[in-house]
Structure 1
Amino acid sequence: MTGTLISLISILIGIITANTFGYFNKKYSFGFIGNTLVGVFGSIFFIKSFGRLGFDPWSIMQNQDINIMLFSINCMVSAFGGALGLVIAKWIYKKLNK
């Protein structure tokens, strides 16, 4: 596994989480395409922000060996970023349309 593949998996997890969260909470949904875009940017933002603590893709693959604990933290942060990104985007949308 490479750092790029880990990054793509993290983005995919953010997309899936945002679409699932939007499906079950209709008041936060922007539709499939909107949820997908928010999931991508939410997961990237959170991974870039919190990845500096040591669970970015290149730290996970240090010495060409995968660290499962860091990878699971990365996946959880990406999922949290996708869902929280959807909530923040809806909050901004409501503020701008008042």
Structure 2
Amino acid sequence: MTATLMSLISILIGILGANITGLYFKKYSFGLTGNTIAGVFGSVFLNKSFGRLGFSPKYIIELNSINTTLFIINIIVSFLGGILAIFLIYMIKNKMNKT
């Protein structure tokens, strides 16, 4: 597995987290397309932020072996990034509609 494939898996997990959040919390849903876009950006942003701590794909694939602990942490951060993006975008949307 390469670092690029790890990044794509992380983005897909972020999309999954955002769409599951939109499915269970209808109030926060932006539709399939909106949730997907939020999941991509939320996953990438949180992974880039926490990747500096050693959870990035290049650290997961070090010496041509997969560090499963770092991979699981990366997946959890991606999923949470998708979830947090939905709630953050909803709050921003409400703030903009009030003015």
Which letter does structure 2 place at the counterpart of 1:43? S
| Gaps in structure 1 of 5+ consecutive residues | none
What number of residue pairs does the alignment pair up?
98
| Gaps in structure 2 of 5+ consecutive residues | none
Q: Normalising to structure 1: TM-score of the pair? A: 0.99
Partner of residue 24, structure 1: 24
Structure 1 or 2: larger strand share? Answer: 2
Q: 4+ residue runs of structure 1 moved beyond 4 angstroms?
A: none
Q: CA RMSD in A?
A: 0.4
Partner of residue 87, structure 2: 87
Which letter does structure 2 place at the counterpart of 1:4? T
The separation in 2 between residues aligned to 1:55 and 1:20, in whole angstroms, is 24
Give the secondary structure class of the aligned counterpart of 1:13: helix
Give the secondary structure class of the aligned counterpart of 1:97: helix
Identity %: 57
Query: Counterparts of 1:43-62 in structure 2 under 5 Å?
Result: 43-62=43-62
The separation in 2 between residues aligned to 1:28 and 1:42, in whole angstroms, is 15
Q: CA deviation at 1:73?
A: 0.1
